Amino acid sequence: MIETPENNALNAKVARIKELGAKVKGYIIDVTDSASVDAVVAEAVKDFGKIDISVHVAGGSARIVSPLAGSVLIYQKDYVIDRVLKVNLYGAMYVGRAVGRYMVENGVKGGRIISFSSTVGVNGLKGCCDYGAAKA
């Protein structure tokens, strides 16, 4: 695996969970790409034999992808809106669909799919119209 800050952080978390005695493996996934999500779900099933819970926490705001981050909607660029919706809305849908499909097709009983959101989806936040819409 290529060393990046993301990989190093993932490896540190995996090592900590292993110290606690759990069987664990970390996966790098692009939640904006449904094929990537499907591939990781298939790999997790191969590695662990089944999936009975999924916890989806991926998210990001325009502040990550745009120098105009925090701008009001009328100044926001299309690519920024697109990226924010893909990470926050499509990502949750792709993960839920892939895991849900696996659970239904394999008769998983009592399975859980948990997707985290943000209070911005309920309360809003100045300059974050796209993020708030995606999290709502």
Catalytic residues: 131
Q: Could you tell me the two tokens for 126?
A: 């100045």
Of 39, 56, 51, nearest to 105 (Cα)?
51
Strand boundaries in 4-136, DSSP class E: 53-56, 112-115
Other beta carbons within 10 Å of 101: 12
For residues 32 and 125, give the distance between their C-alpha atoms in angstroms, rounded to a whole number. 23
For residues 87 and 98, the answer to whether their CB atoms sit within 8 Å is no
Cα–chain center distance at 43? 16
For residues 104 and 83, give the distance between their C-alpha atoms in angstroms, rounded to a whole number. 30
